[in-house]
Structure 1
Amino acid sequence: MRPDPGEVLHFSEDPTIERFVPHVAPTSRVAEPYVWAVGPDRCPDYWFPRACPRAMAWTGPRTTAEDAARIVGAGCGERVHAIEYGWLKPMLGAELYAYRFAAAAFTPIGDPPHAMVSTTPVTPLGPPERVGDLVELHERAGIQVRLLDSLWPFWDEVIASSLEFSGIRMRNARR
């Protein structure tokens, strides 16, 4: 599930939202109210239940072959998403929806940009679309899903490596 050209997506477990109004998310590191969305490159970061902690790593221009083989795995593609065993059933049963928006209403945020934000209310281009089987979506995208007892040892390796990475809802990960 990726946006069409000129679009961005917002993923939600709520299929009833008709209008998105900027707000400060409780987990946000910024104080400005935004409506958040993502472009095609960052959509896989959100193919999970909302509260699911995930540690994600992928190869980039500065990634060494050693780090890619050690963390992603030899012959395993260019990207790995790790979750904890306790989140497998919620992931398999998640009902996730994608809302499409005109990209023109959004601006990039972050350095490098990792999301798109709007400071004004936005209305989806149409009804939300059911995303479907999240594990199958990862498989079709060539992204491995790794199951771990705890994300923290993996995360420590990832952030010390030459890989690009993102960690979402890590506060929900087991210690």
Structure 2
Amino acid sequence: MKPAPGQVLHFSEDPAITEFAPHVAPTSNEKDAFVWAVGPERCPDYWFPRQCPRAMAWTGPATTAEDRDRIIGAGCGTRVHAIEYGWLKAMQEVELYAYRLPAEPFEARFENAVVATVPVRPLAPPERVTDLLGLHEREGIQLRVMRSLWPFWEEVISSSLEFSGIRLRNARR
């Protein structure tokens, strides 16, 4: 599930949104109000239940072969996502929706997302995103299920891989 040219996506468990209004997320360090969306390269970061903690790593221009082989695995692709066992059932059962939004009012102000400062209406009704495990498989993204994300996360952030962690505050300690 990725946007067409001229579009960005917003993923939500709410299928009834008719307009996205700029807001300050309760957990955000940002003081400005935004509508958040993602382009095609960051869509896989959101193929999860909203509150699911996830640690993600992928190769980039500065990634060493040693780090790639150690963390992702030799011959195992270029990207790995990790979740905890406690989230696997939710990952399989979540009702997730993708809203297609016009790319025009959005700008790349952050590394992992694009934002708009004006209200944005979806281009069409939301599309149900099904089989999140299958999406990962089709994109060649490893999906690891672990007891705890923290040991993996510590390895990732001290490596030469590029990475992102979302909802890590919800991960087991």
- TM exceeding 0.5: yes
Task: Give the secondary structure class of the aligned counterpart of 1:158.
Answer: helix
The aligned length equals 173
Cα shift at 1:76:
0.9
1:1-150 equivalences under 5 Å are 1-110=1-110, 113-150=111-148
Output the aligned Cα RMSD.
0.6
Alpha-carbon distance in structure 1 between the residues aligned to 2:27 and 2:53: 13
Alpha-carbon distance in structure 2 between the residues aligned to 1:68 and 1:31: 36
Alpha-carbon distance in structure 1 between the residues aligned to 2:88 and 2:150: 17
Cα deviation 1:61-118 (Å, max 9, x = unaligned) = 00000000000111111000000000000000011000001111101122xx211001
Instruction: Kindly indicate whether residue 156 of structure 2 is the aligned counterpart of residue 161 of structure 1.
Output: no
Alpha-carbon distance in structure 1 between the residues aligned to 2:47 and 2:26: 20
Alpha-carbon distance in structure 2 between the residues aligned to 1:29 and 1:70: 33
Alpha-carbon distance in structure 2 between the residues aligned to 1:74 and 1:85: 24
Alpha-carbon distance in structure 2 between the residues aligned to 1:114 and 1:89: 26
TM-score (norm 1): 0.98
| Runs of 4+, deviation exceeding 4 Å | none
Cα deviation 1:118-159 (Å, max 9, x = unaligned) = 100000000000111100000000001001110000000000
Task: Give the secondary structure class of the aligned counterpart of 2:144.
Answer: strand
Alpha-carbon distance in structure 1 between the residues aligned to 2:162 and 2:109: 17
Task: Give the secondary structure class of the aligned counterpart of 1:67.
Answer: helix
TM-score (norm 2): 0.99
Alpha-carbon distance in structure 2 between the residues aligned to 1:70 and 1:26: 36
Cα shift at 1:28:
1.1
Task: Give the secondary structure class of the aligned counterpart of 2:98.
Answer: strand
Alpha-carbon distance in structure 2 between the residues aligned to 1:28 and 1:82: 23
> What percentage of aligned pairs have identical amino acids?
71
Task: Give the secondary structure class of the aligned counterpart of 1:130.
Answer: strand
Task: Give the secondary structure class of the aligned counterpart of 2:135.
Answer: helix
Amino acid at match of 2:104: A
Alpha-carbon distance in structure 1 between the residues aligned to 2:112 and 2:49: 19
List runs of 5+ in structure 2 lacking aligned partners. none
Task: Give the secondary structure class of the aligned counterpart of 1:167.
Answer: strand
Q: 2:150 — aligned with what?
A: 152
Amino acid at match of 1:77: G
